[in-house]
Structure 1
Amino acid sequence: MSGLKIAVIGGGSSYTPELIDGIIKRSSELPVESIWLVDIQAGKEKLDIIGDLTKRMIKRAKLDIKVYTTLNRREAIKYADFVITQFRVGGLKARSLDEKLPLKYDVIGQETTGPGGFAKALRTIPVILDICNDIEELASNAWLINFTNPAGIITEAVLKHTNVKTIGLCNVPITMKNNISKILDANSNNIKIDFLGLNHMVYGNKVYLKGRDVTNKVLDIISEGESFTMRNIPDLKWDSKLIKSLEMIPCPYHKYYYMTDEILKEEKENSDTIGTRAKQVMDIEKKLFERYKESNLDTKPKELEKRGGSYYSDAAISLISAIYNDKDEIHTVNVKNEGAISNLSEDIVVEINCLINKSGAKPISVGRMSNRIKGLVEVVKSYELLTVESAVFGDYNKGVLGLSTNPLVPSFTVAKKIFDDIILANKYYLPQFK
């Protein structure tokens, strides 16, 4: 490949400057010829703002890259080498409903986990499959790099129901790596973590600093109360007994499963005072886009870090570079298990360290998953698989069964009430449920 064409679906996202920053930083190894930012009519204003900022960033970097903004998705995808998906069906208003609706049943409301993630997946899967139809027709050799959430479920749907070459991506592993480097006061380049699990349910099995096993040291620091979270997740301290019982590093999203009561209490209090995370993000985005409009802004602004998208550029563009340049680098991504975790099904999508080259992602074998985490992982995967089938075929029964299987939902009765509310609130976006 040479003269790369990169299409970004959801180009009007506030995250896009992260991607452009990553492309600029790697310009010496990625010969990008054109960047196509595509969005829908409702996002045109934001798309135009992002397009102008992107052009200023490219100009400042003195790069010969053409930047296009379009509402024509097929035009953007045609002959693309890489398609990046980062869209949100229904926008932040839909996210707000995802976060509020479960609370009335005393169930956690979160955009990717539990009923909120379930609703988001139902809205998103039909759209991603439609995008994949375009890729198969117009850019059959393209790689789809997906970090549309819930990334694991979306990647599962694409790999099971299309022929598109797909790798799912999340910034949680790289965030964990950077957090660990801070608490060890070490350069993150010297940190290696053996990751295994699912998207937003990934564990650090072993941590190495310059090749030396420092797992126990990290566990001790976290169990003593060191902050270890992300901007969009409450900064509650981990129970030291939990950390010692796991004997591995949980990701910040595990708080929803291991600290459910505390998280629910905080969510309900916030909903009545400062508002849900969606409300906070709306405020952040409003200020961000005012900043993006400034004609003298030609770099990624520091304010973007408040949005929660830190390290996306490093994760996404370094992955693309590893494929294009046949690097044989190790990245933590979402792919089919293929026996890498020997006591999980081979054909399910897991989040795991993989060797990345021009052939794609080859999972690195980790042997058997410990019984300390296997039960929770398998239950959540069962929920994910049922959610995919429900979204693809409009199967209500599989949907309600899948939601009732989710550990954050207390019963089938509550699952049914929540699902009915989700369908009613999202009827415009869920035509598959007639």
Structure 2
Amino acid sequence: MTTRINAVPRAVPAEEVQVPFADCYITAAAQNAALRVLRSGWVTTGREVAAFEGEFAGYVGADHAIAVSSCTHGIELALRSYGLPRGSLVLTSTMTFCGAVQAIVHAGLQPVLVDVDAITGMPTPATVRDAVRAFGQPAAMTVVHWAGDLADVPALAEAAGLTLDQVVVDAAHAIGTYEGSTPIGSQCGATCFSFYATKNLPLGEGGMITTDNADRAGWLHQARLHGMTADAWRRYLPGGSWRYDVAEAGLKANMTDIQAAMGRAQLTHLPRWQERRAQIAARYDLQLSTLPAVALPHRPAPGTGTHAWHLYPIRLAAGIERDEVIAELAARGVGTSVHFIPVHQLTYFGQVASIPPSGMSGADALFDQLLSLPIHPRLTDGQIDAVCAALADATLRRFSRKGAE
């Protein structure tokens, strides 16, 4: 059955709709899985984590997966696994979540912020080369597939003078992003995913590191739990030994069996959820493409890859006050957000990160225009239409007023 998409947004009274920006939907199967673990007598890292790791690795086509407490800890551990000298330079986009840069700092490394293209929201080879000219050859780089769009990782690595093995991919937005017909997860030295409450595979908290490097995977499995050579589950199994060693510094960054059991159940729904996200993006595209004050999100060129649609970030025309639009949408029951405040605009990172003297003009220009609309699998067509109608009202009136000035 084909659902007709209204090309012209319909005005919807505020009382008819409440549209949350995000929705942490935990399926009944995932709830039951959590209860099963709670009743089992073993709730921390154990069989469920091992099973989730295997299933997730299979889903993204990686040889190894290491479950961790968050994507942030995943990035830190992945960088630590490289064994870089303290203070080594690590390139990272300024248009990312602050935690991704905190991870570099916590790994004892020096973040070098890279400007982005004002349309894609991601670094370009030119902005990468600018950062390298300013501060010298980096030891590694983190690359974010921002909003679920496809970053050109090989081109960025080449511009930085790095191999793909020296790249840590921040795939917090990219469960469901494909490069060609290959899912993100096995192309670089390590790839880090997020299961935060708003993500495409929501557990509330949690993360996963994937890699094809067996030695790195072994190191990460130990490092995520204090660097111990044997975790509690294996020590307490019948016949297990209580002895263990700690060869180097690790973190307390393990995932629990409760989260992993939920993750295994949620993972079975992910293909259908991704289909729905693509449908929502298409419905937004059709209704918003005629609005003169709205630019649609960037997406991969045909045949190059697939957008995960973790976010649907529109850009408002210059002169349209973004925060006024946010307030008007909120008054009509529509939740929105902004992704992200560029890292170089945050006080702490102005003190600890290296920022090219040429500035961050692309990120600054983009930030003033950005507005993320609701996109999650349980949005109804009626809710999508209501968002489009509210946005049309809020922007057309301001665009007309701007033109008359």
TM-score above 0.5: no
* Larger RCO (CA within 8 A; separation ≥ 6): 2
Larger Rg: 2
TM-score under structure 1 length normalisation: 0.29
TM-score under structure 2 length normalisation: 0.31
